[in-house]
């Protein structure tokens, strides 16, 4: 598991208008395992990465720790090793795969599934809600986080579900 804290020091100054028109050189950052460069301008934020979860195909973080909470990216049902979609259109299998990615990031941040306080779920059809709820109940057991579930017309790669969470550390 990899856990990075990336910090960029900034300085405030007053400069002539001509100097503001020239872009500043990029600030060096710690190495990243994701495509592109992950940086944060707030030293109180910690960016979370783990190879145990699918890596986003864009330059975003799998999770961000702010204070005593972890905010994850939206996870699709992708294989951590290949990034390929898992489940072949089976909402239950896709939901389990997305939850596996979420669990990996939550644990990489030093938290646990029982500390997840909120789930945002995006389904391509509410016809899958009953099956989604079944897997949701299996995953959380007696723990009942707050949740919002939205139906949206389409998700990347033809996935049926995407989820993000907020967890206490």
98: buried, middle or exposed (CB in 10 Å: 19+, 13-18, 0-12)? buried
Q: Average pLDDT of the chain?
A: 82
Instruction: Kindly tell me the sign of the dihedral angle through the C-alpha atoms of 122, 126, 131, 136.
Output: positive
Looking at residue 7, its pLDDT comes to 32
Least confident range from 35-39, 62-66, 121-125: namely 35-39
Is residue 35's pLDDT more than 60?
no
Q: Is the pLDDT of residue 38 over 70?
A: no
What average pLDDT does range 130-140 have in this prediction?
98
What is the rounded distance in angstroms from the CA atom of residue 108 to the CA atom of residue 61? 13
Q: What is the pLDDT of residue 56?
A: 84
Domain map (residue ranges) of the chain:
2-168
> What is residue 42's predicted lDDT score, i.e. its pLDDT?
84
Pair of tokens at residue 32: 């990243």
Q: How far apart are CA 104 and CA 119, in angstroms?
A: 15
**100, 116, 119, 166 from 146: Cα distances, Å:** 19, 9, 6, 10
Among 76, 89, 101, which Cα is nearest to 128's? 89
Q: Which residue has the higher pLDDT, 48 or 15?
A: 48
> Looking at the domain covering 2-168, what would its CATH class be?
alpha beta
pLDDT tens digits, 53-104? 999 878 899 999 999 999 999 999 999 989 999 999 999 999 999 999 999 9
């Amino acid at each position: 598991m990899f856990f990075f804290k990336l910090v960029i020091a900034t300085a405030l100054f007053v400069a002539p208008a001509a100097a503001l028109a020239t872009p500043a050189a990029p600030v060096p950052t710690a190495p990243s395992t994701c495509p592109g460069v992950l940086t944060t301008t707030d030293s109180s934020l910690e960016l979370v990465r783990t190879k145990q979860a699918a890596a986003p195909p864009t330059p975003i973080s799998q999770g961000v720790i702010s204070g005593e909470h972890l905010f994850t990216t939206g996870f699709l049902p992708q294989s951590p090793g290949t990034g390929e979609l898992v489940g072949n259109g089976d909402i239950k299998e896709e939901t389990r795969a997305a939850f596996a990615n979420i669990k990996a990031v939550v644990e990489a941040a030093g938290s646990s599934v029982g500390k997840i306080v909120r789930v945002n779920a995006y389904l391509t059809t509410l016809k899958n809600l009953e099956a989604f709820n079944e897997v949701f109940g299996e995953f959380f057991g007696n723990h009942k986080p707050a949740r919002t579930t939205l139906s949206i017309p389409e998700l990347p790669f033809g996935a049926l579900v995407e989820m993000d969470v907020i967890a206490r550390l």
